[in-house]
């Protein structure tokens, strides 16, 4: 019982072999445990800034799910609100285009904006 207590409360002096074994165990747990064990998966951002070819223009990719429930007539205004909320900058949405995959299914939207001064 005493040994278990010492291991749980990390009571061994530094540079002892017991201390080294505990540290190796902790590091092994951290680096060798698969990410799926914790169900912790990286998630891509829903709005991603893309490189722009024109100066003064910013281009963004918006996932389809962000505007999926929005009626098509209101998508332009909804996209403008989302982009403004993302950065806190005053952006003017100039163009919003659909971005389909190779099968024609809508994957997202490409939004072209200009910074309002």
Token representation of residue 110: 């490409």
Token representation of residue 8: 């749980």
Quickly tell me which residue has 């209101």 as its tokens.
74
**Average pLDDT of the residues in 52-57:** 86
Token representation of residue 113: 């904006």
**E strands along 12-86, which residues?**
47-50, 57-63
pTM of the model as a whole: 0.59
Domain extent listing, the chain: 2-38, 47-115
Residue 61's pLDDT band, with cuts at 50, 70 and 90, is very high
What is d(CA 81, CA 10) in angstroms, rounded to the nearest whole number? 53
85: helix, coil or strand? helix
């Amino acid at each position: 019982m005493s040994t278990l207590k010492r291991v749980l409360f990390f009571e061994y002096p530094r540079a002892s072999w017991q201390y080294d074994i505990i540290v190796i165990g902790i590091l092994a747990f951290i680096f060798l445990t698969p990410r799926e064990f914790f169900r912790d998966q990286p998630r891509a951002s829903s709005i991603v800034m893309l490189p722009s070819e024109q100066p003064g223009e910013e281009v963004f990719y918006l996932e389809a799910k962000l505007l999926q429930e929005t009626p098509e007539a209101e998508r332009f205004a909804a996209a403008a609100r989302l982009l403004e909320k993302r950065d806190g900058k005053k952006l003017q949405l100039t163009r919003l285009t659909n971005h389909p995959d190779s099968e024609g299914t809508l994957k997202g939207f490409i939004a072209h904006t200009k910074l309002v001064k």
